[in-house]
Structure 1
Amino acid sequence: MSTSQNETYGPAYENDQPDDEPYAAEDPQGYVDTYRPAYETQCEIDHEIDHEIDYEVDHGVGYETNPEAATEPQLHRPLPPTLELPGAFGGRAEARRAARRQKAAERPQAVRRLVPRALVVAFLAGGTSAFVADDKAVELTVDGKPRTLHTFADDVNELLADEGVEVGAHDVVAPAPGTRLTSGEEVAVRYGRPLHLTLDGRRRTVWTTARTVDGALRELGVRAEGAYVSAPRSRRIGLDGLTLDVRTERTVTVMADGRARTVRTNAATVREAVEGAGITLRGQDTTSVPPGSFPRDGQTVTVLRITRTKEVREEAIAFGVRRTLDASLFRGTEVVERAGQPGMRRVTYAHRTVNGVRSKPRRLGSEVVHEPRTQVVKIGTKPLPAAADDVDGLNWSALAACESGGRPAAVDSSGTYGGLYQFDARTWQSLGGTGRPQDAPAAEQTYRAKKLYVRRGASPWPHCGARLQA
């Protein structure tokens, strides 16, 4: 084979790139990975040298056969046009051996140039790998709004700080702040909202991360079935919160008119629960608990059927007694100078009947019809006589007429008192009498009456003693 003097031969790998080159991959964005491992084996290097030699021998690329001139490779130098490759180099085999010797001389220097480049490539490749490893794809959902992003944050706190997401004491972050991030992680932030809740009559403020009324009820564990809710359950709860009134369904038993009725109700008052049981409160009817109170679960309410009436009564007013001293009367003698007279008043009472049972009447008021008249009594201060004969001047017949009608054998209806002056047996015997006073002669009865007057004055005869002064 002959070559032209104007042709220039070079290695085939200078202009041609194989289709299956593993180190020239290009991605759709135009990125080309030219990374070539620095740890290629010596066999791969020898294989490339053999490939170069075969190409150069086949295409007539010459090498210096003088070892002294082989310090630098003379690639791409064409052979003389009159020289035939097989004859000049002892055939193709000889040409290959000469090329190998020259390549072997060049190899140490080529390897020395390759190692630093391989180290640089390896460093860059390692940095790129580390860069790619730190980049994480995470899904961040803030208050229900998701987005996917790439981040170099190491943990959840750093991610939120990088994204400018602030959280407070009532907010919820999942996974917890401080948790390390991995690619594919899902991070959710739910903001807390104040809920001014009145639940079954009890008011309190709670915090919820739910964004709707229905979600808040579920989060708080409130049984919503059959409950009254003051706002639609689909209503959204803003960050400024919401005022909500919830009344859950309760069981209430109503006792009325001899019957018990059990109902399920979400009423706000006992009165509403009673009416929900089909019972009407009329007039002054009420319940065993305040009608305006909140009905509790399991509570029993009794309906009280009430009627009220009024009654007017006339009542006597007792008269007073005024006593005056009288020196003309013996001590122990009292004389009524003016009899007393009771007054009268009209009193109004209210009667209350509860379920047929009448309660104690309650006094509403009164008015005086006429005033009572005071009784005046004279009380004697004169010393008592020393003997019975000293009282002969008293009107004993008037006293006897008042006490017994003037009959010596008179006996009262009880049989306790007898005689003109109505002695009892004990008093009669203390005065020296024997037997019964009604059996004694009238003169003896008068004598013993005078002895009693000397001891006690007219006090033994409180009603008729005043007749002695007549």
Structure 2
Amino acid sequence: MSNNSMKNLFLGSLRSKQTVISIISLVLFVSVISFVLYQGTKKSVTLDADGEKIEVTTHAKTVEQLLQDQNIDVAEHDKISPSLNTKIVNGLAISWEQAKEVTISVDGNQSKVWTTETQVKDILKEANIEVSEHDSLAQGIDTEIGADNKIDIQKAFQVSLVDGVNKRQVWSTSTTVANFLKQQGIQLNEFDRVENNLKDVITPQSKITVVRVEKVIDVVEESLDFAIEKKQDASLQQGKQKVVTAGQNGLVTKTYEVVKENGQVVAKNLQSKNVVKESKKQVVAVGTKTVVASAATVSRGSSE
């Protein structure tokens, strides 16, 4: 092969390489420009996904498309702000709160609600359930709901409480009589009694009666009457009596256990009797002597 041929072949190969390099360079340039243009046309938004904030650049047209791009499945009860069909613009703030199912029990009757709220009071408000100051909640009204997503409410009702001579209406939830008395701060003394069974469960319009029982010792003194002994006296005219020995009353003390219920005496039981002073009997002479009229008296009467 001649030198010219070799030279031409070399130059042709060099031109081909230059062409390839030029094409590659052009492709790279176009790609870079396209990438820059692509990135430059993205919009920057802030996404608060269930409490976690992230910055997102996106070509999504709407909020719904952006959430789909972020693999977020929006359920029926989830809360989205702004709405799903809102168009994406720079600086847009998007909030997504995932709803949870909460079980609410009111006096044992359960209902289920979907909510994005976390505070017990907000969940109940959303469910249109009113709670009074007397109602009982397993958790505080101003606390966050627990991990079990359950709220237990016992509705209060009025109960009539008779404590001795005092009667009043009080609020209570369904519980036993024993627990109710404990909640009301009712202290039972040794002899007090409750008319209700302590294990019974109270219901609306129940009447709880506490009888205050008091036992006291009462010592009284009583006169012990003297006995009267009568003796016949032939020297005393019949029909007449004379006290020979004056009688004297004795003295006895009696000890009673007095039972009072709500301040009223209901029983008085004799515990003991003690004679402090014996009585002294009285002796009375009863006349038996009869009087016989004399003969002189009778004659005088006849002569007249």
TM-score, L = length of structure 1: 0.29
Instruction: Select the structure that is richer in strand.
Output: 2
Q: Output the TM-score relative to the length of structure 2.
A: 0.43
Higher relative contact order (CA 8 A, sep 6+): 2
State which structure, 1 or 2, has the greater radius of gyration over its C-alpha atoms: 1
Please state which structure has a larger fraction of its residues in helix: 1
